[in-house]
Amino acid sequence: MKYVITGATGHLGRQITRQLAQRVAPEEMTLGVHTPSKATEFVQQGMTVLPLDYQDVTSLVASLRQADVAIYVPSKSHDSFSRVSEFENVVTAAEQAQVKHLLVMGFIADQVNNPFDLSAFYGYVPRRLAASTLDYTVVRNALYADPLVPYLPELIARGNVIYPMGDASLSFISLAESAAAFAQLAVTPKLWRQPIYTLTQERSYTMPTLAEVLSAASEAKIGYAPITLPQFAALYNEGNEGHMLASMYAGGAQGLLATVSTDFRQIMGRPAQSLPDFLSATLAK
Amino acid sequence: MKYVITGATGHLGRQITRQLAQRVAPEEMTLGVHTPSKATEFVQQGMTVLPLDYQDVTSLVASLRQADVAIYVPSKSHDSFSRVSEFENVVTAAEQAQVKHLLVMGFIADQVNNPFDLSAFYGYVPRRLAASTLDYTVVRNALYADPLVPYLPELIARGNVIYPMGDASLSFISLAESAAAFAQLAVTPKLWRQPIYTLTQERSYTMPTLAEVLSAASEAKIGYAPITLPQFAALYNEGNEGHMLASMYAGGAQGLLATVSTDFRQIMGRPAQSLPDFLSATLAK
């Protein structure tokens, strides 16, 4: 089998690559990456690394050519149209390269009324795939749990979780768990009969409950004192992503980030690691 | 009030314009059209006609400027990405022009698993609007009933409806009824609280039942003998739209064109004209 991973040096892509390497031989793995020098770890293990530019269909076709399974992780632009433009190149290239099965990262914030800046992209993706000649699986992730760990010192200093979420709850998955499910899906053709999976832990958290979990993990007293969406957008505008983040929590406050599914269990044969277990395991490292 | 209609000389746009003219003064109406010479009928009635190019944000802003209500009917490209590109220009322009309420044409074939070539566009639209600063209403039409009328002689010659629909059913609305609902929505701000309406007659038709309705309307014997999707695509490839049409019926065969709603009744205070009534009224003309 030939496996191709695009964006293999990104946050999720790197973890998917590592997880897949636990299941298949490195000679079966091709990585399409923007900056090959960031992929030294993988070259040393015997994987093929090819330069890939999502804006250049030729380089995409070269990376994806005759993949049995290709895994596409979108690049990090902050608006739907940029991502749709990139995705059109990926679909065109995957069809040209005769990819047998395409795995695509999705996100739970894709509902028809979701004000999240990228909801239109995540709504576009599965429909575009349904209209393509491709065999595909969309893997919708819940919110990543991982950023909570480096965020803990700030939360402890503030004494509060400040997400503008009202009474609504958030659903999480860790990058490692998501990556494990991607890798498991890649090597398990019988799971390809279901076109969309949703990866979440088995419960979601209201902000007071999240604050309790973070208090227990950090052994500090953390409460819940939401700020407003504009305050949130201004506070976390690093890399100009304040608006996108605020729009995500605007959808969250409407209950649109609360989705919980047992699909992870269906793929992996076990439930996803709970948030308290993830936090204590990560903080112990 | 200032009303702006884009694409006002197209099939639907022209009928919306006429319906709106029955409800408001022509001085309140501005039409943004690709070919102003096609809008003579409306200039003579006292409406303002402006040149509009969907690819040119400046011309869009000029047409949409400070509209109380703007009605956007997409142009007829056959792939989702072209339409998304156009729609991005419309959203950008509507925000710049400070449009107070935007009415947008949608379509029932927008489900997440719909193989219709334009389903990705119709999935993108409401989500993109939800992420915009605009106040909006999406009006999802069922299949237009109107093309059945000029199609009747061919169906009579064939002796059969040949849509590749299996046992699934189709839902219809006439252009005139859709246009009336658009116009009514435009002049009724209290209806803007619901972001999405679905315009259909009050029942859908399996192909054997559709054949019976067409037999009764034409006083000829019409049965149902479906051809295959590739045959259908090849047969109706005029204007290179065979693939798009076949993909629509591929979704239809999955039951994805069967949606029935009472939204028309909610907007108009009466049910939509039934298909038999539409056919007999149109054939009597």
Tell me the domain boundaries of chain A: 3-141+174-200+259-272
Q: CA separation (Å) from A66 to A17, A30, B71?
A: 19, 11, 45
Cα atoms in the 13 Å half-sphere on the side-chain side of A242? 12
* Secondary structure class of B253 (helix, strand, coil): helix
CA distance B132 to A115: 7
- Parallel, antiparallel, or unpaired: how do β-strands B48-51 and A143-144 relate? unpaired
Mean pLDDT of the A189-200 span: 98
Q: Is A133 on the interface with B (CB under 8 A)?
A: no
Could you give the ipTM of this predicted complex? 0.96
* pLDDT in the model for residue A285: 85
Interface test with B, best of A82, A83, A121, A124 (most B CBs within 10 A): A124
Q: Which residues of A touch B84 (CB under 8 A)?
A: 81, 84, 124
Overall average pLDDT of the A43-48 stretch: 96
Give every CB contact of residue A159 below 8 A, 6+ residues apart in sequence. Answer: A221, A222, A223, A225
Calpha distance B29→A280 (Å, rounded)? 64
- Is the CB of A116 inside 8 Å of chain B's CB atoms? yes
List pLDDT tens digits, range A76-120: 889 999 999 999 999 999 999 999 999 999 999 999 999 999 999
Nearest CA to CA, how far is A281 from chain B (Å)? 36
CATH fit for domain A3-141+174-200+259-272, picks 3.40.50.300, 3.30.70.920, 3.40.50.720, 3.40.640.10: 3.40.50.720
CA distance A240 to A245: 10
Q: Which residues of B touch A115 (CB under 8 A)?
A: 130-131
Question: With an 8 Å Cβ cutoff, is B137 touching chain A?
Answer: no
Q: What residues of chain B lie within 8 A of the CB of A117, using their CB?
A: 131
The answer to whether A198 and A263 are in contact (CB under 8 A) is: yes
Q: Using CB atoms, which residue from A80, A85, A110 is nearest to B128?
A: A80
Residue recorded with tokens 């006083």: B219
| Predicted confidence (pLDDT) per residue in B149-169, tens digit | 999 999 999 999 999 999 999
Strands (DSSP E) found in B186-226: 196-199, 204-206, 223-224
> Concatenated DSSP letters for B67-83?
-SEEEE-----SSHHHH
Residue given tokens 């398990």 in the structure block = A188
Q: Give the CA count within 13 Å in the CB-facing half-sphere of A114.
A: 29
Q: Does B194 touch chain A (CB under 8 A)?
A: no
- Considering only CA atoms, which of A39, A107, A37 is closest in space to residue A73? A107
Q: pLDDT (tens digit, 9 = 90+) per residue, B211-241?
A: 999 999 999 999 999 999 999 999 999 989 9
CATH 3.40.50.2000 for domain B3-142+173-199+259-272, yes or no, is no
Which among B117, B149, B127, B179 is positioned nearest to B283, based on CA atoms?
B149
Give the pLDDT confidence of A134-153 residue by residue, as tens digits. 999 999 999 999 999 999 99
Q: Does B259 touch chain A (CB under 8 A)?
A: no
Contact A131 B196 (CB under 8 A): no
